[in-house]
Amino acid sequence: MLRFLTAGESHGPTLVGILEGMPAGLNLPEDAIDHDLRRRQGGHGRGGRQRIERDHVDFLGGLAGDVTTGGPIAMRIENRDWERQRKREQPVLTVPRPGHADLAGAAKYRLDDMRVVLERASARETAMRVAIGSVAKCLLREFGIVVAARVLEIGGVVADDADLSREDVRRRVEESAVYVADAHVEAAMVAAIDEARQNRDTLGGIVEVQAHGVPVGLGSHVHWDRKLDGRLAQAVMSIQAIKGVEIGEGFTVSRMSGTRAHDAIVPGAGRPERSSNRAGGLEGGITNGQPLVVRAAMKPISTTLTPMPSVDVRSGEAAEAIYQRSDICAVPAASVVAEAMVAFVLADAFLEKYGGDSLAEIRERFGT
Ligand SMILES: Cc1cc2nc3c(=O)[nH]c(=O)nc-3n(C[C@H](O)[C@H](O)[C@H](O)COP(=O)(O)O)c2cc1C
């Protein structure tokens, strides 16, 4: 139902996005999108690029005023770094950086200059994904579905926020330098990032996205490519540097017995309820009415101030990977990108079930 394309290079003039399939009649205030773009730029541990960029979305099509028309929504986010970079001669890159697409990308596209690969593989592209996810969140909010991300781990420092209310989590994540709700570990996470910087190294971590108010019946058990868990995993795994995806407590339950792992069904007010949510709101690839929980593991940033061993492909001789201006830790930013991708997949599944050409038509079907 919903699809999007992004285009643009990290140091090209602009990022472009087209989101197709949004119904007419949805209010899309630019400042709500920009708020998410600012969140993606933030978080302790980011590199110099974020001091240059002031990400802002320009809508180029698909809106009348602030309201969607039903046509494709075209968006642009300018790269301020472009002006600065194009004045400098960029040397040809022939030493592939470990952990990047450089070596395989240049072989695949028969490129002599690996910089061409770097420019498109870069996570700068995620700015547009966040804008698209932010639009998806606007649609979901109309139907009481709220998607929110936070950081659970950075460099092995683990947060414990299980006892906090949703409101406390929201407030604390917003105030936190590393988007973590557990105030007790925030300083330790910041210190771990500073230590990594001093050690000329980098860090990864784990993020979690939750969606509340999700109706029963999004996704389907009937065919592999309609299962919502599979669709979420693909979308979240497609984010640069994400190397593991977990639905609910997927990895923990693998170490439990069946009777402890599954969420018992108990009588409730009007319909059966659950005494736990280890399945993360999904059974058989269908939402079951519990909060949706998706976790993602991010590897440490690949570009390290301590040079990684590599090879100059021109000479075949050993060489050190070059340092490109880079983040030390981008786990907080990745949480915002994961939130965007989960929102996109949920909005897509929501439109499959309740879709219509306009918001008014969807409301009739949804029953609000
Ligand atoms: C928000 C975000 C920011 C990132 N920033 C950097 C960075 O500054 N330097 C870097 O080497 N990798 C960074 N990455 C990761 C790389 O883009 C990624 O590791 C690389 O393109 C190779 O892709 P892969 O790790 O998915 O295999 C970032 C990823 C995300 C999600």
Check if the beta carbon of residue 95 is closer than 8 Å to that of residue 315. Answer: no
Ligand 1 closest atom vs CA 336: 1
**Predicted confidence band of residue 86 (pLDDT cuts 50, 70, 90):** low
For atom 22 of ligand 1, the residue with the nearest CA is 100
What digits encode the pLDDT tens for the residues 331-364? 999 999 999 999 999 999 999 999 989 999 999 9
> Which of 95, 12, 50, 41 is CA-nearest to residue 325?
50
301 lines ligand 1 (CB under 6 A): yes
- What is the per-residue pLDDT across 261-295, written as a single tens digit (0 to 9) for each? 999 999 998 889 999 999 999 999 999 999 999 99
For ligand 1, say whether the CB of 121 is within 6 Å of any of its atoms: yes
Distance of CA 288 to the CA centre of its chain: 23
pTM: 0.97
Is 101's C-beta closer than 6 angstroms to any atom of ligand 1? yes
CA distance 2 to 349: 9
